[in-house]
């Protein structure tokens, strides 16, 4: 092997090691305030979900968990798991983009007084959480949200709201012709 190439590779490895040692490893660890910039809007366990009601505009749909399966509340029809499988996880609580205020005094300004969507989650304990979805931010990246009866106003990603609203507009009806084969 050529000694010149070996020497160049050793010099490059040494420079990289010095950089990592002096600059990367010397960075201070993140503080609690840096990790808490994006608080949870709310946080519940997956197994706590019992009933999910989604109202978006004139569209309303309700889902009930029965024996670890989700069905349409009104007729007990199965949901299409290809479209539904991630939706309950969305309802366990989104990480918010930001807490706007702990003292919401003007819900009209954020569209909370007349929400564009309303999600009601009934827990297995019987407790009910109602999520009010207001308007989107000017850049359309987030939506203003509030829990009914609370004074905190949060931002959540618009994609979270869009995925849930889509369930009301285009419910995940089970179609045996397009459903995947069950896994045995």
Residue 26 has pLDDT above 80, yes or no: no
Domain ranges of the chain: 46-169
**SS3 call for 142:** strand
pLDDT of 35 reads 44
Average pLDDT of the residues of the chain: 85
Most trustworthy range by pLDDT among 20-24, 57-61, 90-94:
57-61
How much is the average pLDDT of 139-155? 92
Kindly report, residue by residue over 112-127, the tens digit of the pLDDT: 999 999 999 999 999 9
Closest CA to 45 of 99, 102, 121, 98: 121
Q: CATH assignment of 46-169, given 2.30.30, 3.90.550, 2.60.40, 1.20.144?
A: 2.60.40
| Between 183 and 42, residue with greater pLDDT | 42
Distance set, CA 100 to CA 32, 45, 108, 118, 178 (Å): 19, 25, 15, 19, 43
Distance set, CA 103 to CA 117, 118, 136, 157 (Å): 21, 20, 19, 21
Closest CA to 44 of 126, 129, 166, 107: 129
Asked if 168 and 56 touch (Cβ cutoff 8 Å), the reply is: yes
Residue 39 class from Cβ within 10 Å (0-12 exposed, 13-18 middle, 19+ buried)? middle
Q: How far apart are CA 3 and CA 79, in angstroms?
A: 68
Q: How far apart are CA 160 and CA 89, in angstroms?
A: 11
Q: How far apart are CA 59 and CA 54, in angstroms?
A: 8
- Indicate the range of 51-55, 93-97, 138-142 predicted with least confidence: 93-97
Strands (E) in 83-125, as ranges, are: 98-101, 117-123
């Amino acid at each position: 092997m050529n000694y010149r190439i070996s020497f160049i590779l050793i010099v490059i490895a040494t420079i990289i090691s010095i950089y990592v040692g002096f600059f990367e490893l010397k960075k201070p660890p993140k503080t609690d305030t840096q990790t808490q910039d994006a608080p949870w809007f709310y946080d519940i366990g997956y197994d706590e979900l019992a009933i999910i009601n989604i109202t978006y505009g004139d569209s309303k749909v309700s889902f009930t968990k029965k024996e670890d399966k989700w069905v349409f509340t009104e007729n007990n029809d199965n949901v299409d798991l290809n479209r539904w499988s991630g939706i309950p996880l969305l309802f366990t609580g989104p990480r918010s983009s930001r807490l706007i205020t702990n003292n919401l005094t003007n819900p009209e300004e954020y569209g909370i007084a007349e929400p564009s969507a309303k999600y009601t989650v009934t827990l297995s304990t019987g407790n009910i959480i109602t999520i009010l979805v207001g308007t989107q931010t000017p850049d359309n990246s987030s939506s203003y949200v509030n829990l009914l009866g609370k004074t905190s106003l949060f931002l959540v990603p618009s994609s979270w709201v869009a995925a849930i609203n889509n369930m009301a507009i285009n419910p995940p009806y089970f179609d045996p012709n397009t459903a995947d084969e069950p896994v045995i």
